[in-house]
Amino acid sequence: MDVLTLALPPSQRSKLLAAGFHTTAALVSVTPFQLSQEANITLEEATVVLKLVPRSDIDHVGALSLSGPLTGSTTAWDLLIHEKNRRKIGTGSTEVDKILGGGVLSKELTEICGVPGVGKTQFSMQLAVNVQIPAEFGGVGGHAIYIDTEGSFMMERVLQITEAVIDDLRNKSPASAEDLTVEDFLSHIYLLRVHDPVEQLAVVNTLPTLLDEHKEVRLVVFDSVTFNFRQDFEDMAGRTRLLANMAQKLMAVAENYDVAIVLVNQVTHKVTSEGSRTVPALGESWSHVCTNRLMVYWMDGQRYAHLAKSPSLPVGTAPYVITEEGVRD
Ligand code: ADP
């Protein structure tokens, strides 16, 4: 259907046309936030426009994105729609989001590794808050499960980060952010404290049940995945098997439940013929497991995030800072 047929003021219609939205079908995969940015209209106007998209267009795209995997006849178009509909959780830094292709992706495992104090937990807590940013602001509007193995989750810090996110959304659109409360945000981060490898593996096995019970969850964080497996492990071959098994289960969970899984990893020093260098912990076989690997590090007093591995994005580096508000550019 042509956008000219929508019951909209002429000025809005021409803004939609100028931004390249000629048909209502073109509006199916955009969020209100994206539309407001691209067509230069307010968030409220964008929300009204998207409500006018006919049901038949939405069903058509929904059917395309489902038909492939179910019938075994996926087309490139299906994949494009699937890709467009991937949920992306912003990190708080637009520069880091850029190298990640828009943010941390659902249906994938993303590892964040770096030395102690560099900001891995800050990223993790920020993501647990940011995953809750509502769809009308370009967010995912989901909940988070935070699995804390080191006791590093800091309530006061998450409160600061949450208040900053809500303030930011209120500045963008007071009306749309009116109902957002700190209590809701904090109530939607489900915390699990695990103390040893057995508990950690039990949590991994229980994740499908937890996600069945909490269908809004779109992010699962393991902070860190390493701690329990670096401590008491003498049987390295056994550790490799356990980690491979855990990773396989997590990949299935990410895909089946449409969640992003973030795995915080530590680093270790590896001595080679050229000297000592810092490498992610847990060994070579683990490094094949994660879909994406983000290395965070310090250099000359500046924090950087380096995308070292991704199936579809080039390697890239972005600076970031940590402020009172959280992770920022
Ligand atoms: P790790 O990589 O060990 O998980 P963290 O994520 O805990 O490290 O990051 C710790 C870093 O975050 C420290 O450099 C600290 O200065 C910084 N940080 C923590 N809280 C704040 C804050 N309120 N304001 C500015 N920086 C902060």
Residue 177: the pLDDT is 95
Residue 234 burial (CB < 10 Å; 0-12/13-18/19+)?
Answer: exposed
Helix, strand, or coil (residue 277): strand
Residue 130: the pLDDT is 98
303 Cβ closer than 6 Å to some ligand 1 atom: no
Residue 10 burial (CB < 10 Å; 0-12/13-18/19+)?
Answer: exposed
Q: Is there a contact between 44 and 136 (Cβ–Cβ < 8 Å)?
A: no
Nearest atom within ligand 1 for CA of residue 224 = 4
298 Cβ closer than 6 Å to some ligand 1 atom: no
ipTM of the complex as predicted: 0.99
Residue 76: the pLDDT is 81
Nearest CA, atom 8, ligand 1: 117
89-to-44, 138, 238, 309, 318 alpha-carbon distances in Å: 22, 9, 34, 18, 17
Residue type for position 200: Q
Q: How do the pLDDT tens digits run along the chain, 329 residues long?
A: 777 778 888 888 888 888 878 888 788 777 777 777 778 888 778 878 888 887 776 665 544 444 444 555 677 877 777 777 789 999 999 999 999 999 999 999 999 999 999 999 999 999 999 999 999 999 999 999 999 999 999 999 999 999 999 999 999 999 999 999 999 999 999 999 999 888 999 999 999 999 999 999 999 999 999 888 876 677 778 888 888 889 989 999 999 999 999 999 998 888 877 787 888 888 777 777 778 999 999 999 999 999 999 988 999 999 999 999 999 99
Nearest CA, atom 22, ligand 1: 324
116 Cβ closer than 6 Å to some ligand 1 atom: yes
Report how far ligand 1's centroid is from the alpha carbon of 133 (Å): 22
> What 8-state DSSP symbol labels residue 176?
T
Residue 83: the pLDDT is 73
Region of 271 please: left (phi>0), alpha (psi -120 to 50) or beta: beta
Report how far ligand 1's centroid is from the alpha carbon of 123 (Å): 9
Name the helix (H) or strand (E) containing 245: helix 236-257
109 beta partners = 261
Residue type for position 201: L
| Mutation probe of ligand 1 site: the residue of 112, 122, 156, 267 with most atoms within 8 A of C-beta | 122
Give the span between the Cα atoms of 105 and 219, in whole angstroms. 9
Residues in the chain: 329
| Mutation probe of ligand 1 site: the residue of 111, 298, 320, 322 with most atoms within 8 A of C-beta | 322
122 Cβ closer than 6 Å to some ligand 1 atom: yes
Give the span between the Cα atoms of 85 and 78, in whole angstroms. 11
Residue 66: the pLDDT is 44
Q: Is there a contact between 164 and 171 (Cβ–Cβ < 8 Å)?
A: no
Q: Is there a contact between 303 and 119 (Cβ–Cβ < 8 Å)?
A: yes
Helix, strand, or coil (residue 196): coil
Give the span between the Cα atoms of 46 and 87, in whole angstroms. 20
Cβ-based neighbours of 145, under 8 Å, separated by 6 or more: 189, 190, 192, 207, 210, 211, 214, 217, 219, 220, 221
**At CA 278, angle to CA 273 and CA 284, rounded to 5?**
80
Residue 36: the pLDDT is 77
319 Cβ closer than 6 Å to some ligand 1 atom: no
Cβ-based neighbours of 60, under 8 Å, separated by 6 or more: 25, 28
Residue 57: the pLDDT is 65
Give the span between the Cα atoms of 146 and 241, in whole angstroms. 24
Report how far ligand 1's centroid is from the alpha carbon of 151 (Å): 14
Nearest atom within ligand 1 for CA of residue 154 = 7
Report how far ligand 1's centroid is from the alpha carbon of 122 (Å): 6
Nearest CA, atom 14, ligand 1: 117
* Burial call 164-198: b when 16+ CB within 10 Å, e when fewer: bbbeebeeebeebbeebeeeebbebbbebebeebe
154 Cβ closer than 6 Å to some ligand 1 atom: no
322 Cβ closer than 6 Å to some ligand 1 atom: yes
Nearest atom within ligand 1 for CA of residue 160 = 23
Residue 201: the pLDDT is 92
